[in-house]
Amino acid sequence: MDGAAISFDPRTPEAVRDPYAALRPLQEHAPVYWSDALGAWCVTRYDDIQNAFRDPRLSSDRIRPFIAQAAEHIKDLVKPLGDHLEMWAVFNDPPDHTRLRGLMNKAFTSRAVDSLRPNIAEIVTDLLDDIERKMAATGSREFDFIRDFAYPLPATVIADMLGVPRKDVDLLKNWSDLLAKFVLTSRADPERYRLAAEGVMEMEAYFRDFVDSHDQTQVDVTTGLVEARDASDRLTPAELVANCVLLLFAGHETTTQMLANGTLALLRHPEQFADLRANLDDVDLIQNTVEEVLRYDGPSLSMVRVAAEDFDWQGQHIKKADRIFLFMCQGNRDPRIFTNPDVLDIRREDAKKNFTFGYGIHFCVGAPLARLEGEIAFPLVFKRFPNLELVNPDPPWTDSILTRGMIEMPVRA
């Protein structure tokens, strides 16, 4: 079979439900595949994805070309979004990326992450208490794992990390959701753009005030960023604000999806779940479980890069400005790297090789925090609700091409 015989559209209901089955023929027969449906290249093999992540011909600047090519009637709507997003580290190449990332690394220290450990455990416990109270009040043992747990946890943790008051979490979550409608979808929808632009401007104003009045004696990431800015003079006030918004945004929905997709995978594999439940104090096994659920069905479907020049790759001719989707989810299921890749195995020794946090210079800044949240949350949830089960064995998925998450996940405790 060659690429011409394969038809791949990531938006069909079958592909949304099971992207791995839809991507498997590409990985086997057409590793660099042109999708008419996406108007872009799709890359699915582990080695190719790894090479792509470190190839300087593949640019991370996908915002400036998008704004430049936007249709006339939406240009005014997307301009304020573009002005803001162009300052995010994740959408920049060296040397700007190096400068922004260096400052972020200085602020996002292991001390700042570690200092959140007790807070995370406390937030998890409070959420589980709330769920139990609600169940007692309604007489039902059912709740929505996403709405009641996986969604509020990361938002509260990030607010603590930045030093933002917890009372503002709902406000920030709302803005972040509006922005997600722009960043995480490739559909041209003026109403989405308008809402996202409004959200970004409100979020910018919020963070400007927040940074200006921030108590610099607090040990948090904002203190670190302000110190890094003042010490080096290499971060403009607008960049500081934009990268606070990035941190808030990037660690929010992804972590929700890690917790929910991971729990779904475990509940669908009773023998794995039983092994885990019998060993909830085994920190190594818990950490490996976090890696394996990230590999098996993590939040990252794909990342986009843009060709900075013409070149040939795996028998295909890539043209300057072509978009390339790196399907990390399928790289995580590459049988050339992982034995029995479609099997969930919480004791898999090389689970940590997964691409779910990316690879190379843009490797996720928040990976230690997300991993810590998983490491703390999974044992506390399963100790509290050892008989957790799915109410709907086949929950509905969102149709994003970049991230993989469920719309809802009803469970019974």
We find the least distance from the C-beta atom of residue 161 to ligand HEM, in angstroms, to be: 6
Distance CA(220)–CA(20), nearest Å, equals 39
**Binding mask of the shown chain, residues 290 to 319, with x at each position contacting ligand HEM by CB under 6 A:** --------xxx--x----------------
How is residue 327 written in tokens?
């399907």
CA distances from residue 37 to 184, 305, 318 in whole angstroms, order as listed: 17, 17, 17
Nearest to 290 by CA among 220, 375, 397: 375
Q: Which is nearer to ligand HEM, 77 or 90 (CB)?
A: 90
Regarding beta strands 32-35 and 40-43, do their DSSP bridges make them parallel or antiparallel, or are they unpaired?
antiparallel
Helix (H, G, I), strand (E, B) or coil at 305: strand
Q: Does 158 sit near ligand HEM (CB under 6 A)?
A: yes
- 200 and 84 Cβ atoms separated by less than 8 Å: yes
Distance CA(85)–CA(237), nearest Å, equals 14
Q: What share of the chain is helix, strand, coil (3-state, %, to 5)?
A: 60, 10, 35
Q: Does 242 sit near ligand HEM (CB under 6 A)?
A: no
Q: Does 247 sit near ligand HEM (CB under 6 A)?
A: yes
Q: Does 50 sit near ligand HEM (CB under 6 A)?
A: no
Q: Which is nearer to ligand HEM, 222 or 254 (CB)?
A: 254
We find the least distance from the C-beta atom of residue 365 to ligand HEM, in angstroms, to be: 4
Q: Which stretch binds ligand HEM (CB under 6 A): 1-9, 15-23, 121-129, 248-256?
A: 248-256
Q: Does 261 sit near ligand HEM (CB under 6 A)?
A: no
Q: Which is nearer to ligand HEM, 199 or 298 (CB)?
A: 298
We find the least distance from the C-beta atom of residue 248 to ligand HEM, in angstroms, to be: 7
Give, for 136, the enclosing helix (H) or strand (E): helix 117-138
Distance CA(401)–CA(328), nearest Å, equals 11
Distance CA(86)–CA(94), nearest Å, equals 13
Amino acid sitting at position 182: F
Q: Which is nearer to ligand HEM, 127 or 303 (CB)?
A: 303
**Binding mask of the shown chain, residues 356 to 395, with x at each position contacting ligand HEM by CB under 6 A:** xxx---x-xxx--xx-------------------------
Applying CB under 6 A, which residues contact ligand HEM? 60, 89-90, 101, 158, 246-247, 250-251, 254-255, 258, 298-300, 303, 356-358, 362, 364-366, 369-370
